[in-house]
Structure 1
């Protein structure tokens, strides 16, 4: 249990800004160069020294995990936008397209993500459960409106879209076309 004496102190404003810049820079570097992204290049892109990066993220895998968790948080937050869309099918489509973009960007980091999941087996399960709950919320709204098939689950959607987008040989255009096939196949 965390007590006031053992609770982590909140970050100073400048430390918080550096943390956020490092996450943004790492996301961009990982997206462009995947596992070849160098720590030094990430720090340079963020406009901080390597020491600052290591103060926030002692190991490369800590940075990978932080980027991954932030992107999951962004996908979870996108559910609210999808649910606010007047057309439930359009909301489902927009959320699945966001998930597809996320999955396509992650396929180059599979090795690093696998290492993170081996280090913390509960991490994968926790993040997967959050994603599944998000997909289910958007899907059930579309199902309740009669816009999509009733025999599909949120987990089915994650597997379908993730399977398409994680293919290392498919181009972005092929993935987008296959996603459209899946979306059309979901229609009631």
Structure 2
């Protein structure tokens, strides 16, 4: 379910007009971009400006900044779950895992930014999404290990932390990360996890 659909489902009002829905869609898009760029300091005003709407429109379309961010976080986590489901459908477990890993690293940065902006206070739905994603990651790692394509001496929890570490910093020891740094780092991590080196 998209963040827009989640917000509309939580609102007891009748289905909004097309222009109201477009404003809500713009707010969701702006919230995702703002959190990625600004992080925990994101405000309703910042999101409204990015969406090209007034603060009054913001509060007519969403009940609060937290409600908007929670819906966005749930949407991002659902995208991660969908990526895991596609990976599990792959006949080749290693290929499925590597495709998931790339999608997960990109979505993780976004979901962590939203979660930080919420102060870690999501919803029961957020907890369910995280649990579902965790279960799928465990299954992806297990599949790849059972078919011999992933090192068997690595716990699935270690894999979760290895993937989490791929996109954590934009600079280190005076160096600035290149735009594709996360992809290069991911290749190194995947090479380390592969049993087919």
* 1:54-94 deviation per Cα after TM superposition (whole angstroms, max 9, x unaligned): 23433322222221111000110112322333432121111
Q: Is the 8 A contact 1:132 1:154 kept in 2?
A: no
* 1:18-48 deviation per Cα after TM superposition (whole angstroms, max 9, x unaligned): 4333212211222233345442342344354
Per the alignment, do residues 76 and 11 of structure 1 end up closer, same or farther by CA in structure 2, a change over 3 Å counting? farther
Q: Is the 8 A contact 1:26 1:67 kept in 2?
A: yes
Match of 1:156 among 155, 158, 177: 158
Match of 1:31 among 32, 36, 39: 36
Aligned positions of 1:173-184 closer than 5 A:
173-184=180-191
Q: What CA distance in whole angstroms lies between the structure 2 residues aligned with 1:110 and 1:9?
A: 27
Q: What CA distance in whole angstroms lies between the structure 2 residues aligned with 1:10 and 1:157?
A: 45
Per the alignment, do residues 129 and 155 of structure 1 end up closer, same or farther by CA in structure 2, a change over 3 Å counting? farther
Match of 1:185 among 174, 179, 192: 192
Per the alignment, do residues 139 and 157 of structure 1 end up closer, same or farther by CA in structure 2, a change over 3 Å counting? same
CA RMSD of aligned residues (A): 3.1
* 1:76-118 deviation per Cα after TM superposition (whole angstroms, max 9, x unaligned): 01123223334321211111111111223456556414x1x2x
Corresponding residue number in structure 2 for 1:85: 90
Q: What CA distance in whole angstroms lies between the structure 2 residues aligned with 1:68 and 1:121?
A: 10
* 1:97-141 deviation per Cα after TM superposition (whole angstroms, max 9, x unaligned): 11111223456556414x1x2x45867644431221121232233
Unmatched 5+ residue regions in structure 2?
Answer: 1-10
Per the alignment, do residues 11 and 136 of structure 1 end up closer, same or farther by CA in structure 2, a change over 3 Å counting? farther
Aligned positions of 1:55-94 closer than 5 A:
55-94=60-99
Per the alignment, do residues 166 and 64 of structure 1 end up closer, same or farther by CA in structure 2, a change over 3 Å counting? farther
Aligned positions of 1:119-134 closer than 5 A:
119-120=121-122, 125-134=127-136
Per the alignment, do residues 139 and 77 of structure 1 end up closer, same or farther by CA in structure 2, a change over 3 Å counting? same
Corresponding residue number in structure 1 for 2:51: 46
Quick check: which one's helix share is greater?
1
Moved more, 32-41 or 140-149: 32-41
Count of matched residue pairs: 179
Per the alignment, do residues 16 and 149 of structure 1 end up closer, same or farther by CA in structure 2, a change over 3 Å counting? farther
